[in-house]
Amino acid sequence: MEDIKNNSWCHELDEIDRQIVIFLEKNARMPFTKIAEKLGVSERTVRIRVAQMQEDGILSLVGVVNPIKVGLNVQTFVHLSVQPNRIEEVVSQLKEMEEVRWIALTTGEYPLMLDVLTRDYDDLSDFVMNKLNKIEGVDRTNVVNVLKKMKSRFNFMR
């Protein structure tokens, strides 16, 4: 079981990598010199390791906008049942819709799941009525509204 560490799809991060990530998870613009100082390594070490992790697709340093602050107040999950031979076609249409932020193929009664963001319930109902329900091949839909987020933690290092 331990050989998992040497697989290329699972990059095992050493302690220095992990510490670097912890700082950058909080502040993507933290100066490398400051991180280096805190960890007792050279600035170069930090710079090289960050570049390597970005290169390997392990770490991204990005700006993220808070959707609520720009007026996208309503988050909804839509479970979709589709005629099996038309899934590809339906997905390609869904991909083009800007309200649809995330699409996945899933197990269960409804093979597609969408994460949908809209300004308000008017826009949501407009989306469901005029976009979703107009797609050919959609069988049944199950719409679940997010009322309140109770936890959201997407930083991975401790």
Binding residues for its own copies, rule: CB under 8 A, are 4, 9-11, 13, 21, 24-29, 56-72, 75, 77, 91, 94-95, 100-108, 113, 142-157
| Per-residue contact flags (x/-) with DNA for residues 10 to 29, judged by CB under 7 A | ------x-------------
SS3 91: helix
Q: Which stretch binds DNA (CB under 7 A): 36-44, 93-101, 109-117, 148-156?
A: 36-44
Cα(30)–Cα(122) distance, integer angstroms: 41
CB of 6 to DNA, least distance (A): 13
Q: Which stretch binds DNA (CB under 7 A): 1-9, 38-46, 65-73, 135-143?
A: 38-46
Judged by CB under 7 A, which stretch of 47-55, 73-81, 90-98, 111-119 contacts DNA? 47-55
Smallest separation (angstroms) from its own copies to the CB of 5:
9
- Taking the C-alpha atoms of residue 37 and residue 131, their distance in angstroms, rounded to an integer, is 53
> Considering beta carbons, is residue 13 or 143 the nearer one to DNA?
13
Cβ neighbors of 47 (< 8 A, separation 6 or more) are: 32
Does 140 participate in binding DNA (rule CB under 7 A)?
A: no
CB 103, CB 88: distance < 8 Å: no
Binding residue for DNA, selected from 27, 52, 142, 155, defined by CB under 7 A: 52
Name, in order, each residue with C-beta under 8 angstroms of 145's C-beta and a sequence gap of 6 or more. Answer: 74, 75, 76
Query: How many residues are listed for the chain in this entry?
Result: 158
Would you tell me the crossing angle of helices 32-39 and 15-26 to the nearest 10 degrees? 130
- 129: DSSP letter: I
